[in-house]
């Protein structure tokens, strides 16, 4: 279960009332990193869909992942990274935090997400601790 990638399709509602900065995309939780692919949704202001941009995020940069449920269904994903510059190009990102509304087709995949993130974070923390111990022994 933990070796299979988890794919979540999402959209972020616009931050202004005119619908100018609406984002759609896909989160792919792969074995060694997370791919965040996103693009601006086409509207009257932009004239059409923009190019898809992919950001590679190591599990060590993921600070917080929270699933928000409403009426017993997962509706939103709150995704926060430790370095806000990684998400700086995304207009709906605020200080390294994105609130994503999960599409219906990805709700079952999202249920696997909590255990996967906990597992990957623990591996990262264990590796970082072993690296520190190794450098202490060498000195």
pLDDT attached to residue 125: 78
CB within 8 Å of 47: residues ≥ 6 apart: none
pLDDT attached to residue 3: 60
pLDDT tier at 49, thresholds 50, 70, 90: low
pLDDT attached to residue 36: 93
Identify the DSSP state of 93: -
Range with lowest mean pLDDT among 9-23, 33-47, 60-74:
33-47
Enumerate the β-bridge partners of residue 112: none
* Residue of 123 and 55 predicted with greater confidence: 55
What is the H or E stretch that residue 24 is in?
A: strand 23-29
Task: Decide which of 1.10.1240.10, 3.40.50.2300, 2.30.29.30, 2.30.30.90 is the CATH code for 6-138.
Answer: 2.30.29.30
Helices marked H in the chain:
107-111, 113-138
CB within 8 Å of 15: residues ≥ 6 apart: 21, 91, 92
pLDDT tier at 105, thresholds 50, 70, 90: confident
pLDDT attached to residue 60: 80
Global confidence as pTM: 0.73
| Proportion of the chain above pLDDT 70, given as a percent | 91
pLDDT tier at 1, thresholds 50, 70, 90: very low
* Residue of 125 and 43 predicted with greater confidence: 125
């Amino acid at each position: 279960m933990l070796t299979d990638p988890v794919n979540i399709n999402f959209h972020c509602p616009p931050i202004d009332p005119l619908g100018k900065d609406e984002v759609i995309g896909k989160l792919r939780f792969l074995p060694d990193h997370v791919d965040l692919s996103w693009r601006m949704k086409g509207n009257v202001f932009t004239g059409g869909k923009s190019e898809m941009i992919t950001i590679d995020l190591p599990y060590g940069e993921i600070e917080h992942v929270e699933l928000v449920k409403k009426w017993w269904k997962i509706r939103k994903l709150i995704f926060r990274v430790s370095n806000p510059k990684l998400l700086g190009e995304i207009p709906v990102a605020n200080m390294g935090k994105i609130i994503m509304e999960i599409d219906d087709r990805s709700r079952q995949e999202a249920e696997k997400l909590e255990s996967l993130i906990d597992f990957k974070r623990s591996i990262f923390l264990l590796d970082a601790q072993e690296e520190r111990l190794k450098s202490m022994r060498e000195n």
